[in-house]
Structure 1
Amino acid sequence: MTRTTTDPRTRRPSGSGIVPVLAFAGIVVAVMQTLLVPVIKDLPELLGTSPSNATWVMTSTLLAGAVSTPIMGRLGDLFGKRRMLIASLAVMVVGSLIAGFTSDLLVMIVGRALQGFAMGAIPLGIGLMRDGLPREKLGSAMALMSSSIGVGGGLALPVAALVAQHADWHALFFGSAGLGTLSILLTLAFVPESPMRAVGTFDVWGALGLSAGLVLFLLPITKGSDWGWTSGTTLGLFGAAAVVLLLWGLMELRVKAPLVDLRTTARPAVLFTNLASIMVGVAFYAVSLVLPQLLQLPTSTGYGLGQSMVVAGLCVAPLGLTMMFTAPVYARISAKYGPKVTLMIGMLIIAVGYGAGLGLMSAAWQTIVIAVVLGAGIGLAYSSLPALIIGAVPASETGAANGLNTLMRSIGTSVSSAVIGMVLANTADQVGGVAVPTMQGFRVSFLIATGAVLLGLVFAAFLPGRRAAVNAEKPHLIASSEDAESGEVSPGSAPAGQAAQAGFRGRVLTADGVPVARAKVTLIDRRGRQAGATLSGEDGGYALSVPSEGAYVLAAKALGHEPLASSATHPGGDRAVELDLSLPGVSVPLGAS
């Protein structure tokens, strides 16, 4: 049995330091990802290996991040999102130190793989915000957290280029370790643990199956251009990935507490958000691959802009900075029109940016314009995704669902890297034995990104409309509050204090264990509909019957207390599941109610 409970000893966050600290954690993750971008072309020489082997330094981080993201999200739901956030950052710090003290290829790959575990910080941070922040602050906070990946990348490029140009390149890893340590300390100081907890077992076989399937799928994507897209190795790995993921899916459908609830994932609101996320990931990574190379190519090519590594990083930096500034804009648009409309507006802006970029490649200032426009569009699109996901899943699945969504973005960036890398390689000119990307390759890359984002627009059009968007931030808390106001008891409920024949029963208590009388307890099914309601007795006891087995949300509300929503799963049959509800807030005399 899996259910979500709240720990009455857990201090509720005030919200004062949560947003900047969690956004900083997201920036640290982005810095880790873009750390080696300025020295990619020099890695074979620095590590004393071939170019194909050197690419594993980047590939290992991508694979580890893709595998760990949904796993850390689920572990966060089970054991505490703050705890898993700190664990993710701690593994990144260890990986950074390992990489910082070596120039050996294999050891470097191990260090970079450990750094990839930090990717789990993004969905965990979003989950902490969802559980701890008041509704009116949640939209802009999630937008900032979601766009922090671009902010960190934009800021890291020029700084990393400056360090690589004037110091030992290993200093990049020590800087990453320092930022990770600072993020851990800030999290310990300012981010209390979420009170929401899914009680159950971790799906070990599901984690192993998903890990194997993702590695088999992402490996040929990232290495296909080196191995050949029609080679036996590439096609064989794709075939193996299909088989493993199919078997994994069949297994997940049979498990009571799966790593990924595929039935939830198949809902249109979740499915089309994830598909749109892949397309946004493709569009986001394309500009990161094209603009730095265009800026650094010598002017002797006839189209290169001849800028230094640092100047190139500064020209691309507005991409991330604009993403940060769009977070409050997103909150306003989403509050009025909903996250679906905001996502579609963001995608349209991205399409305009890439379309304009086809004719704006002849001066450094033009690349800044492209970066600003694309940053605004990507910022709006990325900011919309968590709200859409959270609005479609139960509270107990927030971490895992956002982890899966972050994985979809990673798949998008992986596909973008592979396809655009292949385009640039196949259209390159040989100059002095060195492959130099051509303007044709850059323009084809921009056309691919435009096509991807337009396809994403089609996916976004199938998302639920305004009604679903209204409750996007805290759907179960909102539904419970509305139901609790009604004062109606549905036919599925049982009298207070009386055991339900098949359902949930327990007591409504304060954080100090004092019974709360006449508290409204509402049962909400997985579709957000009221399935039952009752009032607690003088001893705080309540009982609610359930129409069938499955996942539910029990919402409790009483005067003088903050509302509480606890997710729970009923196994079916005639048994009653015991579940006490601890209301946060200050108790008031019973006569006041």
Structure 2
Amino acid sequence: MRTGPTVGSPTRHLGPALVTVAFLGAVIGGVGAPLITSVALDLHIRLDAAQWTLTATLFAGAVSAPVLGRLGSGSHRRSTVLVTLALVALGGLLTAIPLPFGVLLFGRALQGLGLGVIALLMSIARDYLPTERAQSVIATISVAGTVGIGVAYPLMGLLDQVAGLRVAYSVGFLLSLTAVAIAWRTVPADTPRPTPRLDVPGALLLGLGILGILLAVAQPAVWQTPYLGISVVVLTAATLTFWVIVERRATAPLVDLRLFMRGGVLRANAAMLTAGAGMYLLFSLLTRYVQTPVDAGYGFGLSGVVAGAALIPFSVLGFVGGRLTPQLAARTTAQATFTVYAGFVIVAATVFAIAPVSLAATLAAMAVLGFGVGGASAIMPRLVLDAVPRAETASVLAINQIVRTVGFSIGSALAGQLLAAATPTAAIFPGQHGYTIAAWCVLPLLALSAAIILTGTSISESVP
């Protein structure tokens, strides 16, 4: 019976297969955002409750990433990938069946595990592909999320509008089955390695800390009662502090904090946090602006489906940026490459801030943003993995994925707060100046991320 390719088998199909699985996982993870309103309407629940279909996915992906990374560092990496993708498929099935909201929410959480498996796919590429090929594949896997957003938004919006909520979720289920089949056929068989010990206390504490962060930045309802929001922040800080203490004392920590605190790794994660916040701030502004009805005195009143289609250039340019990254890095340095792409995000924000009344300029800003996000995402693994041992690849990338998720969540929350501050009393929509001010706020975030990266030394060329 076939159990997957062995170590010595040809790997010419491995790179495309890993990229495809990552892309499908990104599309599945992106299913929730365009369907939040439909969930609220079809299941007759509040919009803030429906928002949990996105938050639960982000939480599951962020929490599972370091756990899967640690499990995959031993001799059960193939098994870990297949079981995780099977759980994602189960989650897709639960969302497709017309069952109560609680079951749908649980299914969305299971689908979030697909985001957690990305780091494992990168570690497989690093172990089984030649160095140059591994660099290219890892970069493309990293940018798969950008492309997936541009596919998920219009596709799911159209399916929801034409065939209904459950049909849209059913497509996510079919995509997850496809990912399982591809992984079964192509992921290499496990090689003998020491079986890693799972740091259960560390995993639980980190999970609680991440949940607290997401509650504080991705669930606006928490701040409707100020003392509740403050309590969440305080408890989250205490939990993460205790987690650091536990990890430093553990013999087999979930996250090797000494490795994480190395200059290059720490700088890359700090840059990802600030850049992620700026990128998603601008992304949130653009997607909301184009759908604002013209009765508000600005905006273009695009429907959800048409607004989703406007993201296609975002994805296409994101893919192009990711593909150009290895060549650009070969001619300069990884730090300079990141800085160039951060500059493109700054250009996109500037274009939107200067000419928001032009639909062509707004769509151009969306496309340029995609190019910047795709390129920055593609070079980030190279920055993070500088001098990191191969055995720690998945674990280090998993933490970077958590940082990225938190950065995106902060950017989304920041967009909401800035626009809320620009909304007059009793008005439905913020003033147009709110979008302009928020767009200018992107610039210092991206400039700071570039400055953080440029403080480091050149990335070693020997590390894929």
Shared fold, TM over 0.5: yes
Is this contact kept in 2: 1:151–1:323, CA < 8 A? yes
User: Which of 336, 339, 344 is the matching residue for 1:344?
Assistant: 339
Please report the RMSD computed on the Cα atoms of aligned residues, expressed in angstroms. Answer: 2.0
In the TM superposition, what whole-angstrom CA distance separates every residue of 1:15-45 from its partner, at most 9, and x where no partner exists?
3112221111222222123213333334322
The structure that has the greater radius of gyration is: 1
User: Which residue matches 2:454?
Assistant: 461
Distance 1:194 1:459 in 2: 38
Cα deviation per residue 1:120-166 (whole Å; 9 max; x = unaligned)?
A: 12111111110111012122211111000000111121111211111
Report what 2:445 is aligned to.
452
2:276 is matched with 281
User: Aligned partners of 2:390 and 2:193: how far apart in 1?
Assistant: 9
Structure 1 counterpart SS, 2:69: helix
- Structure 2 partner of 1:588: none
Q: Output the CA distance in 1 between the equivalents of 2:191 and 2:433.
A: 54
User: Are the counterparts in 2 of residues 427 and 441 from structure 1 also a CA contact under 8 Å?
Assistant: yes
Bigger Cα displacement from structure 2, 42-51 vs 310-319: 42-51
Q: 1:443 to 1:242 in 2, by over 3 A?
A: same
> What secondary structure, in the 3-state scheme, does the structure 1 residue paired with 2:74 have?
helix
Residue of structure 2 in register with 1:323 after alignment? 318
Indicate how the Cα distance of structure 1 residues 349 and 197 shifts in structure 2: closer, same or farther if over 3 A, else same.
Answer: farther
SS in structure 1 at match of 2:428? strand
The Cα shift of 1:285 comes to: 2.0
Within 2, Cα distance between the matches of 1:168 and 1:41? 12
The answer to whether the Cα contact below 8 Å between 1:12 and 1:194 also exists between their aligned partners in 2 is no
Rounded to whole Å, the distance in 1 between the matches of 2:33 and 2:232 is 27
CA distance in 2, matches of 1:308, 1:287: 20
For 1:34, the equivalent position in structure 2 comes to 30
CA gap 1:182/1:311 in 2 versus in 1, 3 angstroms: same
Unaligned 5+ runs, structure 2 = none
Tell me how far 1:229 sits from its aligned partner: 7.6
2:244 paired residue number: 249
Task: List 4+ stretches of structure 1 deviating above 4 A.
Answer: none
Deviation at 1:193, TM superposition (A): 3.4
The answer to whether the Cα contact below 8 Å between 1:213 and 1:241 also exists between their aligned partners in 2 is: yes
Look up the equivalent residue of 1:391 and give its one-letter code. D
Q: 1:198 to 1:295 in 2, by over 3 A?
A: farther
Question: Where does residue 267 of structure 2 map in the other structure?
Answer: 272
How far apart in 1 are the matches of 2:232 and 2:225?
11
One-letter code aligned to 1:460: I
Q: Distance in 2 between matches of 1:206 and 1:25?
A: 29
* CA displacement at 1:386 relative to structure 2: 0.8
Q: Which whole-Å CA distance do the structure 1 matches of 2:33 and 2:207 have between them?
A: 26
Residue 95 of structure 2 corresponds to residue 102 of structure 1: no
Give, in whole Å, the separation in 2 of the partners of 1:147 and 1:166. Answer: 29
Q: Aligned partners of 1:28 and 1:429: how far apart in 2?
A: 41
Counterpart CA distance in 2 for 1:429 and 1:14 is 63
The partner residue of 1:71 within 67, 72, 79 is: 67
Partner residue, 1:371: 366
Q: Hey, what does 1:157 align to over in structure 2?
A: 153
Please tell me whether residue 297 in structure 1 is matched to residue 288 in structure 2.
Answer: no
| Bigger mean CA offset, 227-236 vs 73-82 | 227-236
Select the structure that is richer in strand.
Answer: 1
Q: Is the 8 A contact 1:338 1:469 kept in 2?
A: no
1:416 aligns with 2:405: no
Secondary structure (helix, strand or coil) at the match of 2:165 reads: coil
1:400 deviation in Å?
Answer: 0.5
Runs of at least 5 residues in structure 1 that lack an aligned partner in the other structure: 1-8, 474-593
Structure with the bigger percentage of helix: 2
Query: In structure 2, what is the Cα distance between the partners aligned to 1:158 and 1:16?
Result: 32
Counterpart of 1:215 in structure 2 is 211
**Inter-CA distance 420–193: structure 2 relative to 1 (3 Å threshold):** farther
Within 5 A, what are the aligned runs for 1:327-406? 327-406=322-401
1:46 maps to 42
Q: 1-side partners of 2:95 and 2:173: how far apart?
A: 10
Letter of the 1:98 counterpart:
L
Partner of 1:132: 128
Between the aligned residues of both structures, percent identity stands at 28
Distance 1:82 1:72, change over 3 A: same
Alpha-carbon contact 2:57-2:110 (below 8 Å) kept: yes
Q: Is the 8 A contact 2:159 2:165 kept in 1?
A: yes
CA distance in 1, matches of 2:154, 2:452: 35
Contact 2:55 2:214 in 1 (8 A): no
Which is worse superposed, 69-78 or 399-408? Answer: 69-78
Counterpart pick for 1:260 among 241, 246, 255: 255
The answer to whether the Cα contact below 8 Å between 2:48 and 2:221 also exists between their aligned partners in 1 is yes
Q: State the distance in 2 between where 1:45 and 1:230 align.
A: 25
| C-alpha separation in 1, matches of 2:427 and 2:43 | 19
Cα offset for 1:239? 1.2
C-alpha deviation, 1:48, in angstroms: 0.9
Q: Please list the CA deviations of residues 250-283 of structure 1 after superposition, one character each: whole Å capped at 9, or x if unmatched.
A: 1111112111000000001000101111123213
Q: Tell me which of the two structures has the higher relative contact order, counting C-alpha pairs closer than 8 angstroms and 6 or more residues apart.
A: 2
Query: Is the 2:37–2:50 Cα contact (8 Å) retained in structure 1?
Result: no
Query: CA offset at residue 427 of structure 1?
Result: 2.3
Q: CA deviation at 1:429?
A: 5.1
Offset of 1:434 from its aligned partner? 7.3
Do 1:339 and 1:469's aligned partners in 2 also have CA atoms closer than 8 Å?
no
Distance 2:303 2:48 in 1: 25
Where 1:21 maps in the other structure, the secondary structure is helix
Matches of 1:328 and 1:295 in 2, distance apart?
28
Task: Tell me if the contact between 1:315 and 1:364 (Cα under 8 Å) persists in the aligned partners.
Answer: no
Give yes or no for contact 1:297–1:304 (8 Å, CA) kept in 2. Answer: yes
Amino acid at match of 1:352: V
Aligned to 1:89: 85
Residue 460 of structure 2 aligns to a residue whose secondary structure is helix
SS at match of 2:441: helix
Q: Measure how far apart 1:196 and its partner are.
A: 7.4
